[in-house]
Every structure is written in C-alpha cells, then in structure tokens.
C-alpha cells in the first residue's frame, strides 16, 4: 500500500513539477472544508475524528497566518478551548514568537493545525518564513497535521481551487504536498442548487485546463483524512473530481482516486 502511495505521489509531482515529500512513515493528514468551529469548540460532527486524529498529542502548534493579525489572539484562545475539549492539553500560536521561536515551536510540537482565512497570505508567509519545508518535514516524521479551509488548501499538492481572491503575492502555487489532491473547501451542498451547480461547473473548467489533477471538494464541517495509507471521508459531504468525471462521497467512503489503482 505504501509503495502504491509513493508511486502515485511521485507521478503527480513529476507532472506538476512539485517536490516529492519523503515520508519516514505514512502521514496522518486531516483536511476540513471549513466552518468547523461551534463557539469555542469544534463542531459536533467533527469531534470524534479530531479526538482520534490528535490522540496522544500534548501540544499543538497553531498556524494562524491566514487570519488578520488583530484576530489572532482571539482565535488562539478559541482553538485552545477547542483542543482542550478533544483532550489535547496545550495549543499555542506561532504568532506569539519571533521567527526563531516560531520554528522552534513547530519543531517541538507533536501536532500541527493551520486555520482558515486568506490562502494566498498563508502560503506566502509559509514560503517567506521557511516554515513550509519545516511543516513538510514534521509531517513526514509522523506529526499529525490538521487544516481547515485555507489550512486545507495548503495541505494539497498546490492551491488551485481555493475560492480566494489572490490577496498576496506568492512565489509558487506549489503547496505542502502532504495530501494527494487539490482541495476545494466550502463546497456547496446540492440543496443549494444554483451554488452547487456553479461550483461544479467551475471545477470542471479548471480540470479542462489542468487535466492531470484531482480535486477534492469538501462542504463546511466536512473532513477527509489521510491515515494508514488511505484517504477516507470521515464527516460531512465530499466530492472527488477528475477531468470528465466526478462522484459524491458520504462518510466512511474511501477515495481510491487519490491513492492510485487499488
């Protein structure tokens, strides 16, 4: 299974000119479509998978670059409450530290979580600070990663269907490459037909121009997880798209399209 994963990622990285992350162990990566907070706790539908994903973690490094600087203290406090609720004793934001201290926190924490906001600002800051490669290295070493909205976008191979305005310059659309898809967060549900049809249409056009890519759409509070060499929709609604094809996912569905041939 691990051989198939590495072969698939290697082929994608060659096609997209993305550096391959060399994993010492199968990575554990959680991506959420967004809006996963319910007050100061994670949304009820996400609690079980968040507990399992971060089980045993003692301190999570919070990466809040995507949010406005004035909002980061408040967001850190909310996430500290939310992680305590899923039995993680400590969570601390990188914005509390200077450049060296932020890297030290990333290097020492046994969990990583990247919040939502502006994807281009987030990716640009990860490049500027050198934190992009450090996060790749930590995930490759077995540290669990979670990201919501913008934090899900940057987990993928590149940022391509972000829904964001390009609010900052970035050196490259190449992202962390720790999750084998391009993520589309905040994907509308079919009950909002006009919004749903509009999003599906945009993704299909994107794939006509980028036919080698696979897009994973995730609705709000929906979670997909790469764990033990498999991608599974753990909560909510999801959709997987390839050029000329697409299908809906329900919780418990595995996504072999992201793992190569079974």
Cα(187)–Cα(178) distance, rounded to whole angstroms?
A: 21
CA nearest 260: which of 26, 8, 3?
Answer: 8
Residues composing the chain: 262
DSSP 217: E
Structure tokens of 61?
A: 């490094």
CA nearest 245: which of 211, 222, 196?
Answer: 211
Residue 49 near residue 4 (C-beta atoms within 8 A) = no
| Residue 93, beta-bridge partner list | 62
CA nearest 145: which of 115, 104, 186?
Answer: 115
Q: Where are the beta strands (DSSP E) in the chain?
A: 29-32, 37-38, 41-42, 59-63, 90-93, 111-114, 145-148, 182-184, 215-218, 223-227, 230-235, 238-242, 245-249
Catalytic residue numbers, as ranges: 149, 164, 186
């Amino acid at each position: 299974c691990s051989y198939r994963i590495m072969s698939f990622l290697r082929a994608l990285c060659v096609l997209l000119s993305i550096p391959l992350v060399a994993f010492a162990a199968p990575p554990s990566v959680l991506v959420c479509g967004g809006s996963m907070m319910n007050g100061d706790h994670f949304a009820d539908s996400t609690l079980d998978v968040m507990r399992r994903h971060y089980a045993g973690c003692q301190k999570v490094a919070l990466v809040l670059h995507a949010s406005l600087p004035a909002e980061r203290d408040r967001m850190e406090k909310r996430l500290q409450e939310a992680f305590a609720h899923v039995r993680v004793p400590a969570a601390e934001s990188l914005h509390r530290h200077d450049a060296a201290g932020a890297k030290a926190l990333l290097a020492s924490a046994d969990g990583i979580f990247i919040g939502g906001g502006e994807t281009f600002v987030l990716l640009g800051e990860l490049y500027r600070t050198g934190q992009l490669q450090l996060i790749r290295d930590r995930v490759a070493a077995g540290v669990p990663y979670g990201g919501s909205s913008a934090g899900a976008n940057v987990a993928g191979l590149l940022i391509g269907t972000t829904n964001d305005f390009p609010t900052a310059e970035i050196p490259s659309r190449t992202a962390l490459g720790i999750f084998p898809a391009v993520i589309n967060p905040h994907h509308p549900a079919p009950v909002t037909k006009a919004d749903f049809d509009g999003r599906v249409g945009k993704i299909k056009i994107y794939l006509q121009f980028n036919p080698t890519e696979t897009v994973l759409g995730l609705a709000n509070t929906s979670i997909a997880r790469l764990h033990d060499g498999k991608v599974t929709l753990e909560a909510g609604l999801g959709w997987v798209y390839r050029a000329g094809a697409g299908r809906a996912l329900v919780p418990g569905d595995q996504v072999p399209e992201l793992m190569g041939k079974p």
